[in-house]
Chain A
Amino acid sequence: MEKKCIICGYTNSHPLGFSFKGENCLGCITHQEKYKLDWDNRLVRLKEIIKETKSSSVYDCVIPVLGDAEDYYVVSEVLKLKINPLLVSVNSYFLNDIGWQNLQNLMTYFDLDSVVYNPDINTYKELIRTSLRKYKHALLPFHQLHTSFPVHIAKDRGIPLVIWGGNQSVEQVGKFSHLDEVEMTKWSRKEHDLFNVEIDTLIGNGAQVNERHLSYYNYPSIKNLGKKVRGIYLSNYLKWDPLKQNQSTINFGFQPELNNSTFDIYERAGSSVYYSIHDLLKFERHGYRKINDHVVREIRHKRITSSDGNKILLRKSDQKVFIKPFFDWLGVTNTGYQWYIDHMLVKSNQLVSNEKVPIDTTIDYLPPSILNCLVESQKSKEEFIIFGKGVHIQ
C-alpha cells in the first residue's frame, strides 16, 4: 500500500528504500540532523580520518568527478584540508559543450592532476542497449564505471582514500544517520548506485561484448581492497546543502545549464541525457521525475513550502523531452526507436517529443528563495560530444 510522507511528499515506492516513523519519513527525520549536529566537530572527525589514512603516496585521495557543480564543491572543500587529490573521471560520452567545458575547467582552475578513462565505445553502447531493453535504464553502464574505476585507480596506485560528495541514500531517504559515517562499499554500490544490477546481467542475449573491455565495470575484490582503500562521503562531515553550495561554484568558473525538466541549473549540467532519456526512464520505472527529488530537497531545506512544491511540479512534471538524438547516438534505427517508444515507454510515451523542445526560460513560478540561488545560465549548443576540450564556450 502506498504511503506518502506528509512533509516532503516522497512515497514508500522510492527506489533507494523507504521507511516511516509515524507520519514522517526517515529522509525528513534524518534531514533534521543537519540543524542539530555540531558541524565543527564533524569537520574535526573528517580531519582525523584524513590523518588516519595518510600514506606515503603522492596523492592523498582520489576524487571521482563528472565535471558537475558538486565536484567543484568537493574539490574546493578537499583542498581546504591541505591534501593532494587526484581527479578521476570516466568519459560517459554523454557530455555536451557545457559539460566538457566544466570538466576541463575543473582540472585547470584547481590545477590538479587527473585521469580520464575512455571506455571502449562499442562495448559501452552494447551494454547500454541491453540495459535499456532489460532494465529501462540508460545510465547503468556508466554508473558501473563511475563507481568502480576510481576505486581501481586508488587500489592500483596505493592511494588510501576515495572522497565522494553527497550520499544520496542519506540525503534522499535517510537510510543512515550522518553519525553512522557510512562509507562507500561494494554492497552500497550495488544496492544504491546499481539498483542490484551487476555487469554480468548486461551481457548476453546476443550482446557483442569482448570481456577484456569489462574489467573496470566490476568493483575490485574487497579481499584485495581490505583496509587499503576507504571511500568516504563528504556529506557526512559537512552540512550538505546542494543548491547553495552548487551556486557557490560559479566563483570557480562552473557553467550552469538551463533545461526544461527542472529549475536546478547546477545538478548534472552538461549532460545530454540526464534530463531527457534518463529522466523519462526514471518516470517509467518509478513513477516520478528528477524534479520531484529537487522539490523534496528544497522543501526540506525550507526554501519552499509544500504548496510551492506542488506548483513547481505542476509546471515541470509534464515537460516533454526530445530523445531521438540519444537513439541516433546509440545507433538505433528509426523503427527501433519507434518500437522502444511503443513497447517500452508504456507509462511515459506521452512525454516524448518528436522535435527539439525550446527551452522555457520563464521563472515566474519560482519563489524568491529559489530565485536567489539561481544565476544566469546557458543553453547547450552541441550534444553528445565524444571527447572535448571545452575551450569554445563564452
Chain B
Amino acid sequence: MRKGAVILFKDGYCYQSYGWSLQRPLGKIQNILDHLEEYHVDEISIIRPVKGMDNDESFYSDILELSKIKSSTPLSFGGGLYNKERIDRVRSLSFERLIFSSSLLSNSNIISYTRNLIGKQAIVGSIPLKYVNSSLMVYNSVLNKFVSIESINLKNISMCDELIVTDCSSEGVSNSFNMNILDHEFFNSKKIIVSGGVNLNKELYKEKKIVSILIENKVLHTEYSLKR
C-alpha cells in the first residue's frame, strides 16, 4: 500500500482543511514538496479546493505557479478540470495523473476526452463524502454543496483507474476515517485511495481494496511523520 499526501493549493498558496469547512494557511508549495520528498511519501495529490468559486484567471494563474515546481515524487492534480482548454494546458505539466471530482457527477464527456488523451491509468476520481442524517452524501464542487451519492455517474466512474474516497467530516483529525463509507457498493470493484483522517495502520485497510492512503494536514506537523 502506498502512502501519499494531499496538498490544497489555491491562489498560489497552500492550505490545510479541517472538517471540509475551515481552511488554515500552510505555506509555499515548493518548500512543502521538498519536505514531503524527504519524508519519502510515495505520491502527492495537489488539489485546488475551488468549491464553486473558480474562474479562468485563478485557474491559469495557479497553473503558471505549478509549472515552476520541482519534484521527483509522482504528482497528481485536480480542481477545476472542467473543459478541454484546461485539460490541454495541464497536460503539458509534469503531473502523472489528473483528478476529477464534480465531473463524476455530470454527463460531461471531459473524463472520456482526457482518458483518450492520456490513458485510463492516469485518471483518478475523487469522491468527497460525509454522512448527513445517516445518508451518505457526495460533495459537488460546482454547486458547492453535498448531494445524494446516487448523483454519481457510473459511466464516469468506470473510466477512472482509482478512486480517492475522502471522509470530509474527519478531515484534519488523526485516526478518524469512517470505514463504513467504504461499504457502499460503488467501492466494491474499484481500487481505492482513502483520505480524510486516515490511520497509518495498514492492518485496518486489509479487507478493502485499498491501494493507497493520502494524509492531509498531519504529514507536516511532526518530523518524519510517516515513520512515527
Contact present for B223 and A182 (CB under 8 Å): no
Q: Is A176 positioned at the interface, with any CB of B under 8 Å from its CB?
A: yes
Interface residues of A in 117-160 (CB under 8 A from B): none
Q: Is A223 positioned at the interface, with any CB of B under 8 Å from its CB?
A: yes
Binary flags per residue of A179-190, CB closer than 8 Å to B gives 1, else 0: 011111111101
Interface residues of B in 95-145 (CB under 8 A from A): none
Q: Known contacts A185-B35, A186-B35, A196-B28; is A21 also within 8 Å of B22 by CB? A: yes
Docked complex Cα distance between A231 and B31 (Å): 19
Q: Known contacts A191-B31, A222-B223, A226-B224; is A180 also within 8 Å of B25 by CB? A: no
Q: Is A175 positioned at the interface, with any CB of B under 8 Å from its CB?
A: yes
- The residue in chain A whose Cβ has the minimal distance to the Cβ of B15 is A19
Q: Which of these binds chain A: B52-60, B189-197, B214-222?
A: B214-222
Docked complex Cα distance between A16 and B23 (Å): 15
Contact present for A222 and B38 (CB under 8 Å): yes
Q: Known contacts A191-B31, A226-B227, A227-B228; is A185 also within 8 Å of B25 by CB? A: no
Q: Known contacts A180-B217, A187-B31, A196-B31; is A175 also within 8 Å of B25 by CB? A: yes
Q: Is A368 positioned at the interface, with any CB of B under 8 Å from its CB?
A: no
- The residue in chain A whose Cβ has the minimal distance to the Cβ of B221 is A182
Q: Is A288 positioned at the interface, with any CB of B under 8 Å from its CB?
A: no
CB proximity of A133 to chain B, nearest CB, Å: 22
Docked complex Cα distance between A103 and B217 (Å): 37
Contact present for B18 and A177 (CB under 8 Å): yes
Q: Is A178 positioned at the interface, with any CB of B under 8 Å from its CB?
A: no
Docked complex Cα distance between A337 and B222 (Å): 43
Q: In the complex, which residues of chain A have a beta carbon less than 8 angstroms from the beta carbon of B211?
A: none
Contacts between chains A and B (CB distance < 8 A), count: 77
Q: Is B26 positioned at the interface, with any CB of A under 8 Å from its CB?
A: yes
Contact present for B23 and A19 (CB under 8 Å): yes
Docked complex Cα distance between A226 and B224 (Å): 6
Q: Is A331 positioned at the interface, with any CB of B under 8 Å from its CB?
A: no
- The residue in chain A whose Cβ has the minimal distance to the Cβ of B32 is A187
Interface residues of B in 2-44 (CB under 8 A from A): 13, 15-16, 18, 21-28, 31-32, 34-35, 38-39
- The residue in chain A whose Cβ has the minimal distance to the Cβ of B10 is A19
Contact present for A185 and B217 (CB under 8 Å): no
Q: In the complex, which residues of chain A have a beta carbon less than 8 angstroms from the beta carbon of B222?
A: 182-183, 185, 230
Q: In the complex, which residues of chain B have a beta carbon less than 8 angstroms from the beta carbon of A231?
A: 223
Contact present for B27 and A17 (CB under 8 Å): yes
Docked complex Cα distance between A196 and B34 (Å): 11
Docked complex Cα distance between A105 and B28 (Å): 40
Q: In the complex, which residues of chain A have a beta carbon less than 8 angstroms from the beta carbon of B15?
A: 19
Docked complex Cα distance between A185 and B36 (Å): 12
CB proximity of A218 to chain B, nearest CB, Å: 14
Q: In the complex, which residues of chain A have a beta carbon less than 8 angstroms from the beta carbon of B221?
A: 176, 180-183, 185
Q: Is A18 positioned at the interface, with any CB of B under 8 Å from its CB?
A: yes
Q: In the complex, which residues of chain B have a beta carbon less than 8 angstroms from the beta carbon of A187?
A: 27, 31-32, 34-35, 220
CB proximity of A8 to chain B, nearest CB, Å: 15
Chain A: interface residue total (CB-CB under 8 A) = 32
CB proximity of B198 to chain A, nearest CB, Å: 15
Interface residues of B in 186-209 (CB under 8 A from A): none
Q: Chain A's interface: helix, strand, loop or mixed, by majority? A: loop
Q: Is A26 positioned at the interface, with any CB of B under 8 Å from its CB?
A: yes
Q: In the complex, which residues of chain A have a beta carbon less than 8 angstroms from the beta carbon of B218?
A: 180
Docked complex Cα distance between A258 and B27 (Å): 35
A225's contact among B21, B27, B34, B223, by CB below 8 Å, is which? B223
Contact present for B223 and A183 (CB under 8 Å): yes
Q: In the complex, which residues of chain B have a beta carbon less than 8 angstroms from the beta carbon of A222?
A: 38-39, 223-224
Contact present for B228 and A19 (CB under 8 Å): no
Contact present for B223 and A174 (CB under 8 Å): no
Docked complex Cα distance between A225 and B156 (Å): 45
Q: In the complex, which residues of chain B have a beta carbon less than 8 angstroms from the beta carbon of A225?
A: 223-224
Contact present for B228 and A16 (CB under 8 Å): no
Q: In the complex, which residues of chain A have a beta carbon less than 8 angstroms from the beta carbon of B13?
A: 17
Q: Is A304 positioned at the interface, with any CB of B under 8 Å from its CB?
A: no
Q: In the complex, which residues of chain B have a beta carbon less than 8 angstroms from the beta carbon of A173?
A: 25
CB proximity of B30 to chain A, nearest CB, Å: 8
Interface residues of A in 209-243 (CB under 8 A from B): 222-223, 225-227, 229-231
CB proximity of A282 to chain B, nearest CB, Å: 19
Contact present for B223 and A185 (CB under 8 Å): yes
CB proximity of A61 to chain B, nearest CB, Å: 16
CB proximity of A219 to chain B, nearest CB, Å: 10
- The residue in chain A whose Cβ has the minimal distance to the Cβ of B225 is A185
CB proximity of B99 to chain A, nearest CB, Å: 23
CB proximity of B31 to chain A, nearest CB, Å: 6
Q: In the complex, which residues of chain A have a beta carbon less than 8 angstroms from the beta carbon of B34?
A: 187
Contact present for A185 and B227 (CB under 8 Å): no
Binary flags per residue of A3-19, CB closer than 8 Å to B gives 1, else 0: 00000000000001111
Known: A175-B26, A190-B31, A196-B28. 16 other contacts (CB 8 A): A16-B25, A17-B25, A21-B22, A175-B24, A175-B25, A180-B218, A180-B221, A181-B221, A182-B222, A185-B223, A186-B223, A187-B27, A191-B28, A226-B223, A226-B227, A231-B223
Q: Which residues of A pack against B, CB within 8 Å?
A: 16-19, 21, 26, 29, 173-177, 180-188, 190-191, 196, 222-223, 225-227, 229-231
Q: Which residues of B pack against A, CB within 8 Å?
A: 13, 15-16, 18, 21-28, 31-32, 34-35, 38-39, 217-218, 220-224, 227-228
6 closest Cβ contacts across the A-B interface? Answer: A17-B25, A187-B35, A191-B27, A185-B223, A182-B221, A183-B222
Can you list 13 pairs linking A and B with CB atoms under 8 Å apart? A17-B25, A26-B25, A175-B24, A180-B221, A182-B221, A182-B222, A183-B223, A185-B220, A222-B39, A222-B224, A223-B38, A227-B227, A230-B223
